[in-house]
Amino acid sequence: MIHNNKEVLDYWNKEDVESMYDKNLINSEIELILKRITRNSKILDAGCGEGEGTIIYSKIPGSAVHAVDFSETRLKKAAKRLRNKNNVILKQVDFLGKYELDTNYDFIVSQRFLINLMEWKLQKKVLADLMGMLKKGGKLLILEGSINGVKELNDFRKIYSLDPIPVKWHNLFFKDKELVNFMASKKFKLLEEDGLGEYFLLTRGIRPAFDSKLNWNSKFNKIAASNDIKLMLSLGSRFSRLKLWVFSK
């Protein structure tokens, strides 16, 4: 390891750490990514964690998935989930060390991976490296933390006298404009931005104002994650602590 993220690695190597307590949220994240990936694609799932997204992407007809993570513990959990998937290759990779991966991916997915790199310069390095692994016309789908979304949601919470939701100690969220400007400077094209603003506003903004006992698997949250709500409110990335950016090479 050459990164300064030893504490972060130690954290994710703990057996009892849950990758995401809110399963409605992680499923919505995966769905947001999934609808952008086409059939017969070669996919790199960078920072795959426990393989919750990997197993869904592997079901895309004709897909071949390379799933990598720097945590041995997360990969063991992923291996159990993916044990019957013949079109998935799992590999332990430290993106700040020496590694070998292919350079002809159609899609590369980064879902809450880059935010675990605790310096902007390290995030920039890995962003550039990931783009270098795409074939011409390939797409990088990054669903990562947004400082803009954090601020918008906390501003809303403040109206209801709710405490701000902080960014976790092991995460460094992106400043939206800084990210987009960096990618533009490298001649990478921003194709679209999206988010889960409806879900964040309802579950982290409105519901806590009326219910202090939050059950992430409640009926309210399930409805908030529905496509009907997304179409009805159409908030996109507004109020969304996590944002999807799609870049092309």
Q: What pLDDT, in 10s, does the model give residues 93-147?
A: 999 999 999 999 999 999 999 999 999 999 999 999 999 999 999 999 999 999 9
- pLDDT for residue 21: 81
Asked whether residue 235 is assigned to any structural domain, the reply reads no
DSSP 172: -
Asked whether residue 104 is assigned to any structural domain, the reply reads yes
Asked whether residue 32 is assigned to any structural domain, the reply reads yes
- Residue 9, Cβ density class (10 Å: 0-12 exposed, 13-18 middle, ≥19 buried): middle
Q: What percent of the chain is modeled with pLDDT above 90?
A: 86
Phi, psi of 190 (to 5 degrees): -80, 115
Asked whether residue 122 is assigned to any structural domain, the reply reads yes
Asked whether residue 14 is assigned to any structural domain, the reply reads yes
**Domain of residue 60, residue span:** 6-147+169-198+243-248
With a cut of 60, say whether residue 71 has pLDDT above it. Answer: yes
With a cut of 90, say whether residue 4 has pLDDT above it. Answer: no
Asked whether residue 101 is assigned to any structural domain, the reply reads yes
Q: What is the pLDDT of residues 17-31, one digit of tens each?
A: 556 689 999 999 999
Angle at 106 between CA 64 and CA 190, to 5 degrees: 145
Q: Which amino acid is at 236?
A: G
Asked whether residue 1 is assigned to any structural domain, the reply reads no
β-pairing verdict for 88-92 and 189-195: unpaired
Do residues 23 and 43 touch, judged by C-beta distance below 8 A? no
Q: What is the pLDDT of residues 32-65, one digit of tens each?
A: 999 999 999 999 999 999 999 999 999 999 999 9
Indicate which CATH number applies to the domain containing 123.
Answer: 3.40.50.150
When the pLDDT of each residue in the chain is averaged and rounded to a whole number, the result is 93
How many domains are contained in the chain?
Answer: 1
